[in-house]
Amino acid sequence: MPKTTKFKTQKHKKIALNRIKALFDYASGLKPEDNVLADRYVYLARRIAMKYKLHIPAQLKKRYCPYCYSYRFFADNARVRTKNNRLIISCYNCRKHYRFPLIAPKSNKKSPLKTEVENGS
């Protein structure tokens, strides 16, 4: 029996991304007491992203711990601090820290608008 192939078109990927966003919306509406359900939503969102080879948007990625995959309820199971132009998010479940810069890295590429102004056209 021939093996069936599953095509993942752009249409399917768009639907999957909407589902991921919806799952994070559901999780954000929950109370910190329902952390098991919120963690389940994160698990499902990650599974959908893996199945359809999608990146979870950066804004949503900061809402769960990259080490233990628990949903972050800030001030309940996570803490946010700034230090040396970095944002540090600490997870109370796994005691790990997630750091990233607050200042965006400078790009060396010249923008096309700037070159037009310099040329005088």
Interface residues with Zn ion (CB under 5 A) are: 65, 67-68, 91, 93-94
How near is the Cβ of 67 to Zn ion at its closest, in Å? 5
How near is the Cβ of 65 to Zn ion at its closest, in Å? 3
How near is the Cβ of 56 to Zn ion at its closest, in Å? 16
Nearer to Zn ion, 19 or 90 (CB): 90
Nearer to Zn ion, 54 or 94 (CB): 94
Nearer to Zn ion, 16 or 24 (CB): 24
DSSP track, 37-95: HHHHHHHHHHHHHHHTT-PPPHHHHTTB-TTT--B--BTTTEEEEEETTEEEEEETTT-
How near is the Cβ of 98 to Zn ion at its closest, in Å? 8
Question: Using the 8-state DSSP alphabet, how is residue 8 labeled?
Answer: -
Residue that is written with structure tokens 């060396």 in the block: 108
Question: Using the 8-state DSSP alphabet, how is residue 33 labeled?
Answer: G
Residue 40 structure tokens: 């389940």
| CA 51 to mean position of chain CA atoms | 16
Nearer to Zn ion, 30 or 94 (CB): 94
